[in-house]
Amino acid sequence: EVFKALNKTRGLYLRWQEISKAPTIPNSPEVEWTSTELRNALRKKNSSKFKIDNKEISERRSFIEATKQEVKVMKSKMSLNRNRDNDGTAREPLLGDESPVHNMSNVWTATPKYTKYSKLANQTDSPNRFDYDSDIMSMQEKMLTSQNDQLQVISHSVGSLKTVSKQIGIELDEQAVMLDDLNTELENADSKLDSTLKKVAKVLHMNNDRRQWLAILILVGLLMIILILFVII
């Protein structure tokens, strides 16, 4: 628990140094949030959670003293930075090799009885990394949202094309039925026309026979008249 609180305090302290050097508003929400979290981490204590022996108690007391010393260094540097202008001076590393807890972390380790204690990590979680990860996640979410919108548009277009193709297929089927009906009507008209032509040809043939007999009778009558005239003369 102490290691977690110290790591959190280190990260918040580094973030506080970045904000103090950046041209931000003194009463901005980010500064207030960082200051509040830093104070809460510094106030956090946990002294009676684990049962340990005297040797480990002495080791932990040494570690706590070193932690207090490092917290004092943080507080002193914070108070100095409040009175210092933001002139771009290079930031002095707080968690270097001279840090008391850094030296203690290389020596103090957990006893076999309490295996969940381990060596204190030398690197802290940087808030900039969290901001970068959150930016990457937001960009990926925006890309996924844009892709979903495009897929919805494509799906809508495909649905419209399917509807249009179905309508065209229905119209083609109706036109095919109409063409079949027209073909049937043409065949009926052709058969009726053939029968009519046959009837007309038959009538014309009958008329031609009558005319022939009439011409023959006329010619016979003329011959009879001519013969009668020759006889009389």
pLDDT 10s digits, 79-116: 777 666 554 444 444 444 444 444 544 444 444 444 34
pLDDT value of position 106: 47
| pLDDT single digits (tens) 13-67 | 887 777 777 655 555 666 677 676 665 555 444 444 445 566 766 776 788 788 7
State the pLDDT at residue 121.
Answer: 42
Tens of pLDDT, residue by residue over 163-220, are: 888 889 899 999 989 999 988 888 888 888 888 888 777 766 666 667 777 777 888 8
Confidence of residue 4 (pLDDT cuts 50, 70, 90): confident
Label residue 221 by pLDDT band (50, 70, 90).
confident
Question: In the chain, where are the structural domains located?
Answer: 2-125
User: Which residues lie below 8 Å from residue 119, measured CB to CB, with a gap of 6+?
Assistant: 105, 106, 109
Q: What pLDDT, on the 0 to 100 scale, is given for residue 195?
A: 83
pLDDT at 101: 46
Rounded Cα distance, 221 and 227, in Å: 10
User: What's residue 82's pLDDT?
Assistant: 66
Average pLDDT over residues 118-135: 52
pLDDT of residue 23: 59
Taking alpha carbons only, the member of 139, 131, 133, 107 closest to residue 120 is 107
Q: Rounded to whole angstroms, what are the CA distances from 194 to 185, 190, 206, 208?
A: 14, 6, 18, 21
Cα distance between residue 211 and residue 216, in whole Å: 9
- Helices 2-21/29-43 angle, 10° precision: 150
Candidates 4, 14, 2; CA nearest to 130 is 14
Residue 166: CB atoms within 10 A of its CB come to 10
pLDDT: which is higher, 186 or 117: 186
pLDDT (mean) for 108-137:
50
